[in-house]
Amino acid sequence: MKPLVSIIIPTYNRSHLIGETLNSILAQTYPNWECIVVDDGSSDYTEELLEFYCEKDSRITFFKRPEHYKPGPNACRNFGFKKSKGDWVKFFDSDDILVPEALSLHVEKLKGKDVIITKVKYIDGKGHALHFEHNYLSKKNLIEDYFVGRLTYYTFGPLWNRNFLQKQPFLFDEKIRNFDDWDFNMRMLYKKPRMVYIHEALILYRLHEDSLSRELIKLNYEEVKSEFYARKKHLNILKKDLQVDVLSLRNYDKNRCKAQLKKALILNHKKKFALYCMLSKRQYELFEMKEFIKTTIGYLSYSLFGKGERFFR
């Protein structure tokens, strides 16, 4: 019998987009799937739309996040996983699209694997293709590569073996708002899953103004803080790993923080002092006293005179 694939989708106020996502799932050439949509408290017509899709195809089921679960997509994914029955699990997003052959091509690669990862194609809000450089799995150091972004894949990219997931102490960290996929994938990499990569774009990843990934670009402080919380969490885990160059990862984290502070100063962002404190703490922990002094002078120069870019080179 063909294995059952569970597709788990958290959603929040995406009634204008999730229909296209569900249509792409209904169009799959591989028939043995279930789709579990978990609503995070939408105020639009998500519930009415999902009632239509549940009536249209019994493989689609709809749940509301239970009140005792923390709000957010991670809690919805964790709840959806408990409701799922599939031998294989794909966590998907409510604004992305599967090409018709996606599940069929995934299933062809299952034997002896814990996870199958596919390339994605980026599209804008109108469905037009965007061009970004793709990267691939390396056999050198996946953990370091993923930490610094030389390797990138998202929550919706992999198809996971349920047995592998059930061996983990927990799945998605509900304390993390952004970088939730990064945190999840890092923890899974620590367990050395047997992986295979499909060099074909089987997922259309929609980038638009409401995308959570855009919040870092727009300097949403809560999302920026979430990124650095996640990075700090994993630096503490990795400091015991003798095969990982933790110093280079700490420097990468520090430089990410420096870039965000510089952006905040240019924009005169209300959270610029909080970002200054974040960066100063990292420089202090790395015993970079000269860099700490430069950062402080640069912060004061920008705050008082609106310039000081040379201090952040």
Mean pLDDT score of the chain: 87
Residue 134 pLDDT greater than 80, yes or no: no
Q: For 187-200, what is the mean pLDDT?
A: 90
The ranges assigned to domains in the chain are 5-206, 215-312
Q: For 192-214, what is the mean pLDDT?
A: 75
Q: For 62-89, what is the mean pLDDT?
A: 94
Token representation of residue 119? 């390339």
Helices 246-267 and 272-285 cross at an angle (nearest 10°) of 160
Q: For 173-194, what is the mean pLDDT?
A: 88
Q: For 67-79, what is the mean pLDDT?
A: 91
Q: Which of 268, 272, 277, 265 is nearest to 312 (CA)?
A: 265
Q: How confident is the model at residue 217 (pLDDT cuts 50, 70, 90)?
A: low
At the fourth CATH level, which superfamily is domain 5-206? Spore Coat Polysaccharide Biosynthesis Protein SpsA; Chain A (3.90.550.10)
Sort strands 158-161 and 97-98 into parallel, antiparallel or unpaired.
unpaired
Q: Which of 90-94, 266-270, 307-311 has the lowest mean pLDDT?
A: 307-311
Given a contact cutoff of 8 angstroms between Cβ atoms, the answer to whether 141 and 243 are in contact is: yes
CA distance 221 to 146: 23
- What is the predicted pLDDT for the residue at 127? 64
Q: For 186-208, what is the mean pLDDT?
A: 86
